[in-house]
Amino acid sequence: MKKLKYDIVEITCVNSKYLPSWLTDDECCECNFECKLKIYEVESGYDYIVSKREYEKLVKNKQIRRL
């Protein structure tokens, strides 16, 4: 089994305290920017901010778990 390369720091949008609009149909972030998540690289511990497109690419490549 391949070890995940990234993990999620918080499941809320970096622009608010709510879930990103692309993760839920319930109460979500309504910022005027593209919602993004903060993740970190497991080996280095560095944090990164990713968009929906970047997150989906990591999921597709099995480098991060799907929420």
How do residues 38-62 score in pLDDT, each as one tens digit?
A: 999 999 999 999 999 999 999 999 9
Q: What is the pLDDT of residues 7-32, one digit of tens each?
A: 999 999 999 999 998 988 888 998 88
Q: What is the DSSP string of 1-67?
A: -PPPSEEEEESS-TTSSS--TTT-SSS----SS---EEEEETTT--EEEE-HHHHHHHHHTTSS---
Task: Report how far residue 5's alpha carbon sits from residue 2's, in angstroms, rounded to the nearest whole number.
Answer: 9
Domain residue spans of the chain: 6-60
